[in-house]
Amino acid sequence: MKRLTALVSGNVQKVGYRARVAQTANALGLKGFVENLADGKVRIIAEGEEERLRWFEEAINIKNTLIQVSSIERTYSDATGELSRFYKAVDAGETDSRLDQGIELLKEIIITISEGNRDLHSAISEGNHDLGGTIKEGNRDLRSAISEGNRNLCDAINEMNHDLGNAISEGNRDLGGKMDTMIETQRDTLNEVRDARRDLRDYMDQRFEKIEIELSEMKAILKSKGLI
């Protein structure tokens, strides 16, 4: 077990520093006390395990809005074991003085909060007014943009319908011309087929006639030779 003796300098009196030190020491299970000195410093005596005292030494180096520790003079020695708990030492008459200071500080806090509320209310009202104007202006711009967009859309649709109608009419004319061409082509093809069939029939008639003549001649020869 070890004893830490620390002299803390800075803005450490009447700002809640001793209460923070006592709270931290009790959380670490240390024994000792913390007290204000006449020269404005704070003295801390703490006993406990050395590792916990090292943690405590870091924790009491506080710097925030109220408390500003500038330096810590520290010495370690063997623990005496004479301390049973950790407490905040308070001088006679300090409670009344701190109470008066607390009342004055409370008044300042109330005034600050009231002024802050007024400023906040004014800022909110001004913000709501500006926001309302911005929303109205935005709505007008939005309606104008939508109307303009609708007009442009209608114009585009009308133009597309006009172009589509022209394209369909042109397509129908082209299709009609192509149909006439196809019909004419079919007519020509049909005539060619008919002519081909006539030519084929004439050719076959000639062939059959020639074959009949040849057969008659062959029969005559065979009869003359007594073969049939």
Query: pLDDT tens for residues 87-98?
Result: 999 987 666 455
Q: What is the distance between the alpha carbons of residues 28 and 34, in angstroms, rounded to a whole number?
A: 15
Residue 24 corresponds to which amino acid?
T
pLDDT band at 13 (very low <50, low <70, confident <90, very high): very high
What number does CATH give the domain 2-91? 3.30.70.100
pLDDT band at 107 (very low <50, low <70, confident <90, very high): low
pLDDT band at 174 (very low <50, low <70, confident <90, very high): confident
pLDDT tens-place string over residues 51-89 = 999 999 999 999 999 999 999 999 999 999 999 999 999
Q: What is the distance between the alpha carbons of residues 95 and 98, in angstroms, rounded to a whole number?
A: 5
pLDDT of residue 171: 67
Q: Which residues are catalytic?
A: 18, 36
- DSSP-derived 3-state class of residue 86: strand
Would you kindly state where each structural domain of the chain is located, as residue ranges?
2-91, 92-196
pLDDT of residue 100: 46
pLDDT of residue 103: 47
